[in-house]
Amino acid sequence: MARIVIIGGHGKVGLLLAPLLVAAGDEVTSIFRNPDHSAEVAATGARPVVADVEKLDTEAIAALLAGHDAVVWCAGAGGGSPERTYAVDRDAAIRSMDAAAEAGVRRYVMVSYFGAGPDHGVPADNGFFPYAEAKSAADAHLAGTALEWTILRPSRLTTDAPTGLIETSAQGAASGAVSRADVAATVAAVLANPDTRGATIEFNNGGTPIASALVP
């Protein structure tokens, strides 16, 4: 059994991920900011914790993470203003990484997006640019830490039913689409596979069972 904390526990991926981890025997804490969502989060089997990581400093986030074995970041500003995108997707994410180190939580899984990185190629006048910049900065910070990290970069997210099948860029995949349910299953598979530590994995839905696609 592992003790796993999901930051962004009421997000669409977080709500799908928690039941998978609970079914596998893990103890799950889900962090989210709106108290109105407590019952929905509790229904996943996770322990609901109301906290706004956008407004918390590193020390306060570390207090939330203490006692866990792994952190999953699947929070996001969800669009809106560039200022809030940078505040959540970059700054709060980076504080959570520093907080994990401070709390002694070694394992950290980041849900990013396919194509993130210093060469993301999104023009500065494109509305997606703040998100691309924020996620790329957060990924780079994580890769520079001593945490046991994995960066997951799914393609465009859909609400399709889970298939259990993906294709990674290492297999030749270009950016396409993947269901949120399969993203959640991929996070769960990564947490169960220590060989994914230090890996950046870009993926779509495809034809390979998730566990097999993650084999280095």
State the catalytic residues.
131
The dihedral built from the CA positions of residue 137, 143, 145 and 150, taken in this order, carries a sign that is positive
Integer angstrom CA distances of residue 208 from 121, 166, 168, 202: 28, 5, 9, 14
Q: What whole-number distance in Å separates Cα of residue 124 and Cα of residue 109?
A: 28
The dihedral built from the CA positions of residue 157, 209, 152 and 11, taken in this order, carries a sign that is positive
Is the Cβ–Cβ distance between 46 and 26 less than 8 Å? no
Is the Cβ–Cβ distance between 110 and 186 less than 8 Å? no
Rounded to the nearest 10°, the torsion over CA 31, 36, 40, 42 is 50
First to last CA, the chain: 24
Q: Which residues pair with 25 in a beta bridge?
A: none
